[in-house]
Chain A
Amino acid sequence: MEDILKIGDRSIKNRLFIGTGKFSSYSLMKKALEASQAEVVTVALRRVDDTSKTDNILDYIPKGCILMANTSGARNADEAVRIARLAKASGGGNWIKIEVIADNKYLLPDNMETLKATEILVKEGFVVLPYMSPDLSMARRLADAGAAAVMPLGSPIGSNRGVKTRELIEIMVREIKAPVIVDAGIGKPSDACECMEMGCAAVLINTAIAIASDPVNIASSFNMAVKAGRLAYLSGIPFGFMQPSASSPLTGFLREE
């Protein structure tokens, strides 16, 4: 059976999502997106200039990709909602990644405001994917509010530190029915693979690709890593600690009965 990720009414085969900031040029970004074979691409509405003939980022998104506008720059729920509506009105579709950040030091998201924006936008018919600090209760609330997925951070945006929040994300993967997509902090393909092995539905990568010396080839390698991690997860990873040992120091006494 084909392994498909359903979000909203779309069926997605490639579980690598990509962000479009920080690239040295739009043309290089386009090549990286093509090499990654990503189907979901997020774009900050703040950077879209649809009045420009040469500098409209949307002209560089490969055809067939699902465009997920994001609310980068929003400092509260109200601003996120307004940006989402602007994105839809300008033809950006109804997928929205909510980013509410009122902390310019670490760029950590404001979960409370994110929830408020999610509640409003779901009611307005958006497919809402909220970016969040990993927190089980908040993830439940977001899912209950109708979020199409939840997107916890692996570590702070742009830090390339990998999945530092692993313990919390593992709990979310176990408990939340909505897809859990790790967004932010992934520094290298093996981090992305780790997320997929953990059972995450997808990963979203931006900085690690955009600032690499060769964004095109690293995009391709992320694609492979995500596929490898997913396949490993589906195959059932044998865990070392589950192997029976020759002697049974803890339960051996039971045989004496």
Chain B
Amino acid sequence: MSYYEVIKRTEGLDTDGLFHSISRHEIERALASEVLSQAGFVATLSQEAEKYLELAAAKAREITLKHFGKTIQLYTPIYIANYCDNRCLYCGFKADNAFQRKKLGLDEVKKEAEFISSTGLRSILVLTGDSRSESPVSYIKDCVKILKEYFSSIAIEVYALTEEEYRELISEGVDGLTIYQETYDEKLYETLHPSGPKRDFLFRLDAPERGAMAGMRNVNIGTLLGLASWRREIFLMGLHAKYLQDAYPDVEIGISIPRLRPHAGDFKPGFEVSDRNIVQIITALRLFMPRLGIAVSTREDPILRENIMPLGVTRMSAGSTTCVGGHTRIINDHDRPQFEISDERSVEEIRSLLERRGYQPVLKDWMKI
């Protein structure tokens, strides 16, 4: 079984029509129900449900409080390499972008790790570009060996791997996998990924499941908002999360909903996603999956990040940089970020913000056992 079969089943479905034809009665029934069905999920994502946003937000807040309490987990990304063989139209790291590429030496990884760990963070997300030749699994493993001396939880956001490769990384100390499908629209996916290994829609779609089978503790999926009509994308991402949670109940499933940000190149997002839409997305996901991990990245500006926190957010990045070696400024003028970030606050600043807002910043939530 693959989630692809579920997508195939929705192909003939006029989802856009569906989202515009939901009645108030259906929304009210969904909001009154204890557990949201698939139909209820559609109802809360519908256009008409925008009128019920405050009610949905109140419910989402209560569910989040019960399940996660007044806490937010903090982590930071560490970019170890930006070599890339893909030409994803929306990405700053795409192969056509001419800039001096970088890959951290192991001594530089150590330096970054020392700095990040001095901020108190114990949870880290390791990122590379998609280049098996420049950043092979063996290189990622070498980096993990160093990082595990400093961090109690290590997640990876790298190119799609085989189940066996995920197993290798887990045995080295990796416990989380983040991999975004970007879009669940197969045709659009082909257009956006004209060449490179990432072009294989199915291999990427099944990567989270391979990670879960290999024994990852956390699996995070995501869709890049702005590429397509968001209601259908979020619907399919929600079903993907549900599919994974049903099949792998012992894995913590999480999602991210990054919105496209400016980057090197001229790609303009075709579909606008407003702050109001983001609120609807988070509340609908929370009602549909009460225990779903929801991350909000530094792509979003500080004001939005603060205001959506109580609605369902469980994880936030802090002290972020999307440059290779960006934490310790092992960068030069030629260096490029993958995308611009909107929230440049340090770990310390985010921590005091959370405390002011009545949230406990959770810096450590796992350990190597």
Contacts and interface: CB of A to CB of B under 8 A. Distances in A.
Interface of A: 21-26, 45-49, 52, 54-55, 73, 75, 79, 82-83, 86, 101-105, 107, 158-160, 207, 210-211
10 contacts: A23-B70, A47-B364, A49-B363, A52-B363, A73-B217, A104-B251, A107-B291, A159-B66, A210-B69, A211-B70
B68 A22 contact: yes
B122 A49 contact: yes
Nearest to B289: A105
A104 B360 CA distance: 22
A105 B365 CA distance: 18
B366 A158 contact: no
Nearest to A49: B364
B71 interface: yes
Interface string B227-258: 00000000000000000010001111100000
Interface string B335-369: 00000000000000000000100111011111101
Contact of B367 (A21, A46, A103, A160): A46
B359 A24 contact: yes
Contact of B369 (A54, A79, A158): A79
A23 B366 CA distance: 18
A25 B360 contact: yes
Contacts of B250: 75, 101-104
Contact of B365 (A47, A158, A207): A47
Nearest to A90: B367
Contacts of B217: 73, 75
A52 B119 CA distance: 10
Given A52-B120, A159-B66, A211-B66, A23 B245 contact: no
Given A49-B152, A86-B367, A211-B65, 19 more contacts: A22-B69, A24-B70, A24-B359, A49-B364, A52-B363, A52-B364, A73-B217, A73-B366, A75-B250, A82-B369, A101-B250, A102-B249, A102-B250, A103-B249, A104-B252, A104-B291, A105-B249, A107-B291, A158-B67
Contact of B69 (A26, A105, A211): A211
Main secondary structure of the interface of A (DSSP, over half): loop
A99 to B, nearest CB: 13
Contact of A46 (B66, B251, B291, B364): B364
A78 B122 CA distance: 24
B360 A23 contact: yes
A83 B120 contact: no
Nearest to A110: B250
Nearest to A21: B69
A50 to B, nearest CB: 10
A84 to B, nearest CB: 10
Q: Is the interface of B mostly helix, strand, loop or mixed?
A: loop
Nearest to A107: B291
B334 to A, nearest CB: 36
Contacts of A55: 120, 363-364
Contacts of A47: 362, 364-365
A207 to B, nearest CB: 6
Query: Which 8 A/B pairs are nearest by Cβ-Cβ distance?
Result: A22-B69, A24-B70, A102-B250, A49-B364, A82-B369, A158-B66, A75-B250, A24-B358
A251 B66 CA distance: 52
A21 B359 CA distance: 12
A85 B330 CA distance: 40
Given A24-B358, A105-B249, A107-B291, A207 B369 contact: no
Contacts of A102: 249-250
A103 B250 CA distance: 5
A25 B122 CA distance: 18
Given A46-B366, A104-B251, A207 B360 contact: no
B90 to A, nearest CB: 32
Interface string B74-105: 00000000000000000000000000000000
B87 to A, nearest CB: 37
B253 A46 contact: no
B70 A210 contact: yes
A21 B71 CA distance: 9
Contacts of B245: 104-105
Contacts of A101: 250
A207 B69 CA distance: 7
Contacts of B120: 52, 54-55
A207 B51 CA distance: 31
Nearest to B361: A55
Contacts of B249: 102-105
B367 A24 contact: no
B253 A104 contact: yes
A43 to B, nearest CB: 12
Given A26-B360, A102-B249, A104-B253, A45 B68 contact: no
Nearest to B63: A158
Most chain A beta-carbon neighbours within 10 Å: one of B120, B362, B365, B367: B367
Given A102-B249, A104-B249, A104-B291, A23 B69 contact: yes
Interface in B153-185: none
A150 to B, nearest CB: 23
B291 A22 contact: no
Nearest to A85: B369
